[in-house]
Amino acid sequence: MKPEKALIFELSQPGRVAYSLPECDVPDIEPASVIPQSMLRETPASLPEVYEVDVIRHYTELSRRNFGIDNGFYPLGSCTMKYNPKINEDVARLPGFAKIHPYQPEESIQGALELLYTLQNDLAALSGMDQVTLQPAAGAHGEWSGLMLIRAYHESRGEKRTKVIVPDSSHGTNPASATVAGYETVTIPSNARGLVDLDQLRAAVGSDTAALMLTNPNTLGLFEQQIEEIAQIIHDAGGLLYYDGANSNAIMGITRPGDMGFDVVHLNLHKTMSTPHGGGGPGAGPVGVKSRLIPFLPKPVVGRREDGTYYWDTDRPDSIGRVKAYYGNFGILVRAYTYIRTYGPEGLRQVSENAVLNANYMLKRLAPHFEVPYPGVCKHEFVLSGKRLKEYGVRTLDVAKRLLDFGYHPPTVYFPLNVEECIMIEPTETESKETLDAFIDTMIQIAREAESDPQLVLNAPYTTIVKRLDEATAARKPVLNCSC
């Protein structure tokens, strides 16, 4: 057996330092002369005193316990975990982008403004919208911003509409954003094929409908073929169509929400456009609108003068105002711009074609081993149901835990809510056939283990630092304030 390394928890020793700084050339100031008495510290902060090597080892060790797209396959449905090309990082680190300041005068940041202006236009062209704001910092933030635009639009016409309709397969952020934007959500059940049920939709729509929030392909990975009729129903009632474009991986260069009849769309650059995702890092959820909503866009947007110079367009009297400090997560926008330029229109179309191909390949190979609630061709992702394994006492959660032993991040589980024991897989276009096959073989192996040795699956994972957690106790006796 491998000997256990003795764990030393307390690395701090008085007097050890991990830095050397030049002598301070600022004259000593008595803290009490500049800091209010009530804010003065009475005892020195107890910071760890360690050597540089201790700090490096500590953080390197922690980083090795993490999982990311750079160390393994991450087939998380609905959240597009695709490879983040390193050229994006190189460009974002160019001093002309990395070292500018939001308060700099316009003349000194013309290149950055040109980049933002071009990105606004690229995203508008990709989504079929007329104008885009880059301010929102995440998908959910984009949804809320888009709904505030919808509210401003209806109010400008003297209409008070109170309801937002969402299908039962919708992403949880949709009803949440609608609620935060002050709307009542109305959930409509999907039909037997996993699509919007037009009769249910007709029954739910009325003069109080502000919008329908939808994604197409939907969260089951299925394309809403009746989208034009859906748009007609909503528009006839005076409502607007909101497109949740968090994952546009299936449609780039093939079809556009604007052409399907949508009025407002948000895009997640940290999904589709390959910018880093997860770990709480910054994201970007730009929002595009059709022309009748342009006056309400958050300000400023980037404008271009006739002489070719760029400027912050703040003269927008009907704007809903700012939705974020400064101008959005600029470094992320640079990465997304780089991604779009690297691929170009043809390349982006190929990205989508390969994403759809990969998903269908996996679906075909996995179908005999799991249940497929909505058979047929999928788009960039698909759902399976693990309910067949329940007869052996194994649930989807157990399959997900067992995958950890093989070095995979599990797919999304138990979402969408309308599929029992749901497993939602999105391979993305950036994975090789060998990676897809290895993952598929592992899934098949786990399904066999569930039949022949369910306990093996129920006790997983075995190879991770944290083993199976006691979920019942965690739910019944949660420790929410850990001072350990």
Residue nearest to ligand PLP (CB): 139
8 Å CB contact between 242 and 211: yes
Residues in the chain: 484
**In the set 92, 116, 140, 265, which binds ligand PLP (CB under 6 A)?**
140
Smallest distance, ligand PLP to C-beta of residue 268, A: 5
Run of H or E including 242: strand 240-245
State how far the Cα of 125 lies from the Cα of 111, in Å rounded to an integer: 21
Select from 146, 194, 285, 411 the one that contacts ligand PLP (CB under 6 A). Answer: 285
**Identity of the residue, 153 or 242, whose beta carbon is nearer to ligand PLP in the bound complex:** 242
Binding mask 328-367 for ligand PLP (x = CB under 6 A): ----------------------------------------
Q: Write the CA distances from 403 to 65, 90, 388, 408, integer angstroms.
A: 16, 33, 18, 6
242 pairs with which residues across the strands?
A: 213, 264
Beta strand 422-425 pairing with 412-413: antiparallel
* Binders of ligand PLP in range 239-268 (CB under 6 A): 244, 246-247, 268
Smaller CB distance to ligand PLP: residue 216 or 360? 216
Candidate residues 73, 74, 75, 79; the one interacting with ligand PLP per rule CB under 6 A = 79
In the block, which residue shows the tokens 């020195």?
44
Minimal distance, residue 410 CB to ligand PLP, in Å: 16
Examine residue 324 and tell whether it contacts ligand PLP (CB under 6 A): no
Spatial distance between the Cα atoms of 210 and 187, rounded to a whole number of angstroms: 14
> Shortest CA distance to 380 belongs to which of 365, 363, 366, 396?
363
- Contact string (CB under 6 A) for ligand PLP, positions 158-197, x = contact: -------------x-x------------------------
Measured from the CB atom, the residue of 352 and 449 that comes closer to ligand PLP is: 352
Exposure letters 141-178 (e unless 16+ CB within 10 A, then b) = bbbbbbbbbbbbbbeeeeeebebbbbbebbbebbbebb
The one segment of 66-74, 136-144, 188-196, 197-205 that binds ligand PLP by CB under 6 A? 136-144
In the list 84, 169, 209, 215, the residue contacting ligand PLP (rule: CB under 6 A) is 215
* Minimum gap (Å) between residue 219 Cβ and ligand PLP: 6
88 binds ligand PLP (CB under 6 A): no
Position among 126, 129, 138, 404 found at the interface with ligand PLP (CB under 6 A): 138
Among 175, 217, 257, 283, binds ligand PLP (CB under 6 A): 283
Alpha-carbon distance 417 to 411, whole Å?
15
In the complex with ligand PLP, the residue whose CB is nearer, 173 or 396, is: 173
> What does the alpha-carbon distance between residue 100 and residue 12 come to, in Å, rounded to a whole number?
38
Interface with ligand PLP (CB under 6 A), residue total 15
Compute φ and ψ for 28, nearest 5 degrees. -55, 130
CA distances from 263 to 46, 130, 158, 241, 305 (A): 55, 10, 19, 5, 27
Least distance CB 218 / ligand PLP (angstroms): 9
Say whether residue 75 binds ligand PLP (CB under 6 A).
no
* C-alpha span between 236 and 177 (Å, rounded): 24
Q: Which is nearer to ligand PLP, 78 or 131 (CB)?
A: 78
The answer to whether residue 428 forms part of the interface with ligand PLP (CB under 6 A) is no
β-pair partners for 385: 371, 422
Question: For ligand PLP, which residue of 69, 73, 76, 78 counts as binding (CB under 6 A)?
Answer: 78
**What distance in Å separates the CA atoms of residue 245 and residue 228, rounded to the nearest whole number?**
17
Which residue's CB is nearer to ligand PLP, number 213 or number 399? 213
Told to check if 127 binds ligand PLP by CB under 6 A, we report: no
- Pick between residue 128 and residue 175 the one whose CB is nearest to ligand PLP: 175
* 149 φ, ψ (degrees, to nearest 5): -65, -40
Strand residue runs (E) in 321-457? 382-385, 412-413, 422-425
The residue ranges that bind ligand PLP (CB under 6 A) are 78-79, 138-140, 171, 173, 215, 219, 244, 246-247, 268, 283, 285
